[in-house]
Amino acid sequence: MLKKLLTKIEVNCSANNTILHASNRKTKNIVVSPGLIGFKGAKRSTTYAAQQIAEHLGNKLIENKTTNVILIFKGFNKSKKSVVKGLAKKKIKIIKIIDKIISAHNGCRLPKQRRL
């Protein structure tokens, strides 16, 4: 029984841009950003731009005969749903979604101060 190769897609969401990076062991890495398709300035940060680059990446994955992916999200942005929607539109099967947001949670509560 052959194992299907899974492709990892790292979605780096920032306030001004959304960058998708697909990597696999056999094929070369694919990096897509809204500037590649023609979005300039403030239009890069929209959800529409995120969906368009996800569809563009979906086309490239279909060319490489990859259909199963693992999504890894980094950063805060409103375009996370749009990326999933764009990949689903191109019939890319998402196996797992991982959220690697690095945020401070202030740790444990300190012990009460001793009074003398």
Residue 114 lies in a domain: no
pTM of the model: 0.81
Residue 116 lies in a domain: no
Residue 36 near residue 57, CB atoms below 8 Å: no
Lowest mean pLDDT among 79-88, 89-98, 105-114: 105-114
Diameter over CA atoms, the chain: 73
Residue 87 lies in a domain: yes
pLDDT at position 35, please?
92
Greater pLDDT, 25 or 19: 19
Measure the N-to-C terminal CA separation of the chain; round to a whole number of Å.
Answer: 71
For 1-116, strand residue ranges (E) read: 7-13, 18-23, 30-32, 68-74, 93-99
| Residue range 57-82, pLDDT digits in tens | 999 999 988 889 999 999 888 888 99
Q: Which domain holds residue 65?
A: 7-99
Q: What is the CATH number of the domain that holds 22?
A: 3.30.420.80
pLDDT value of position 20: 93
Written as one letter, the residue type at 31 is V
Closest by CA to 74, choosing from 95, 98, 93, is 98
Number of structural domains in the chain: 1
